[in-house]
Amino acid sequence: MSSLYVFIPAGLLCILGALGVILAKQPVHQVLSTVLNFIGLAVLFLSLSGEFMAVIQMIVYGGAVMILFLFVIALLTARKDPIERDSGHLPGQRVAGWAFGGAVLAMLTLIGVVGKGPTKLADIPADFGTVAHFGHELLTTHLLAFELTAFVLMVAVIGVVILVGRQKG
């Protein structure tokens, strides 16, 4: 199928990014791997006709959140990262982690591949997933969720201010 040409590279990109996060030693490398993951996901979103989401993904996640991580790494926690060669305080955690994670991986993939998927895709209008369509949905049918989102963000801001604001004391 022609669209596998899109799916496979993007999927590989995602997986490579994820592997990079869990395996890289340097934190900045991890951040870059995460961004790779996001790019792959953005491409996948585009292939699913989610244009708005793809752009939001890149802007918010890749742009803002990752920059935030970079700032924290660069300014505040540099040189503090644990050298993760030994097992530290928790013996057996790494083995158990890989084992458990591997089990979850295997089982979920099994479900994903073998499970009965949808046989027919719904017909979608031409403007499916565009900004206009998404905006319309968000602000009419899901207005309450939208308002609550604003509330959540406000709570986050207040939380951060309260947490970090005291040091001037």
Partner 1 sequence: MLASMNLYVALAAVLFALGGIGVLVRRSPLAILMSVEIMWNAANLLFLTFARVHGNLDGHVMAFLVITVAAAEVAIGLAIIVLLFRKKDSADVDQVAELKN
Partner 2 sequence: MSALLPAIILVPLLSAAVLAYFRNSWSKTAISWVACGSVFASFAMVVALVVSPEEVFRSGFTTWGKLLDFGLLADRLSMWWMLVVTGCGLLIHVYSTGYMRGDPSFGRFMAKMNYFIFAMSLLVLADNFAGLLMGWANVGLASYLLIGFYHKKPAATSAAMKAFVMNMIGEAGMIAGIAIMFRVFGTFKFDAVFARAAEAPHAVNTICLLLLVGAVAKSAQMPLHTWLPYAMEGPTPVSALIHAATMVTAGVYLVSRAWPMFEVTTTAASAVMWVGAIGALFGAVVAAGQNDIKRVLAFSTLSQIGYMFLANGLGAYVAADFHFFTHAFFKAALFLTAGIVVHHYAGDQDIRKMGGLWQKDKFATVALVLGMLALIGIWPFAGFFSKDEILLAALHSHNYVVLGIALLAAGFTAFYNVRLFSLVVLGEPWVAPGAKVSGKKRASAHADHAHAEHGHGHAEHHHATPMAQVISVGILAVLSVISGWIFFFHGQLTFLEPAFHGLELVEEKINWALAGGAMGLAAVFGLVSWMLFRPGGLRRQAEVDLGAKAGPLVRMFYFDDLYEWIAIKPVQALAAFAANVGDAKIIDGLVDGLGKVAAALGSGLRALSGGYVRRYALTVFGGVILMLCYYVFYA
143 binds, options partner 2, partner 1, none, Cβ within 5 to 8 A by partner type: partner 2
In this structure, what token pair is assigned to residue 61? Answer: 């996640």
19 near partner 1, rule: CB under 8 A: yes
**Which residues 40-99 are close enough to bind partner 2 by CB under 8 A?**
89-90, 93, 96-97
C-alpha–C-alpha distance, residues 156 and 162, integer Å: 10
Closest CA to 19 of 116, 101, 110: 101
* SS3 assignment, position 74: helix
135 near partner 2, rule: CB under 8 A: no
**Which residues 37-96 are close enough to bind partner 1 by CB under 8 A?**
37-38, 41, 44-45, 47-50, 52-53, 56-57, 60-61, 64-65, 68-69, 72-73, 76-77, 80-82, 84, 88-90, 93-94, 96
Instruction: Give 5's Cβ-side CA count (13 Å radius).
Output: 3
* SS3 assignment, position 130: coil
Shortest separation between residue 46's beta carbon and partner 1, angstroms: 10
Shortest separation between residue 168's beta carbon and partner 1, angstroms: 14
Shortest separation between residue 94's beta carbon and partner 2, angstroms: 10
Q: Which helix (H) or strand (E) holds 8?
A: helix 4-23
C-alpha–C-alpha distance, residues 154 and 73, integer Å: 25
Site residues (CB under 8 A) for partner 2?
A: 89-90, 93, 96-97, 100-101, 103-104, 107-108, 110-111, 141, 143-144
